[in-house]
Amino acid sequence: MYEYKVIEVREKMIGGKMSGDKLENRLNEYGNQGWQLRAITATEIKGRIGPGGVEGLLVTFERGR
């Protein structure tokens, strides 16, 4: 049996570029909790204010129960 976690990684500002350091920190954070990276998918993530979205990543992790 496995469980999965999907997180959104994006920059705070519209048009901001994705930070490799930010992504690396998030991957290490979840890796330290026993999660294993399964997939990274580029996507448009709905913004908090108004219509439209910003570019971001959906990161999928897996771990045994």
Q: In this predicted model, what pLDDT tens digit does every residue of 20-60 receive, in sequence order?
A: 888 899 999 999 999 999 999 988 776 656 566 667 889 99
In a domain? residue 7:
yes
In a domain? residue 50:
yes
In a domain? residue 29:
no
In a domain? residue 19:
no
Measured CA to CA, the distance from residue 59 to residue 3 in angstroms comes to: 14
pLDDT at 14 over 60: no
| Confidence (pLDDT) at 38 | 98
In a domain? residue 2:
yes
In a domain? residue 54:
yes
Residue 58: both structure tokens together: 């959906």
How many domains does the chain fold into? 1
In a domain? residue 30:
no
Measured CA to CA, the distance from residue 35 to residue 5 in angstroms comes to: 8
In a domain? residue 23:
no
Boundaries of domain holding 45: 1-14+36-65
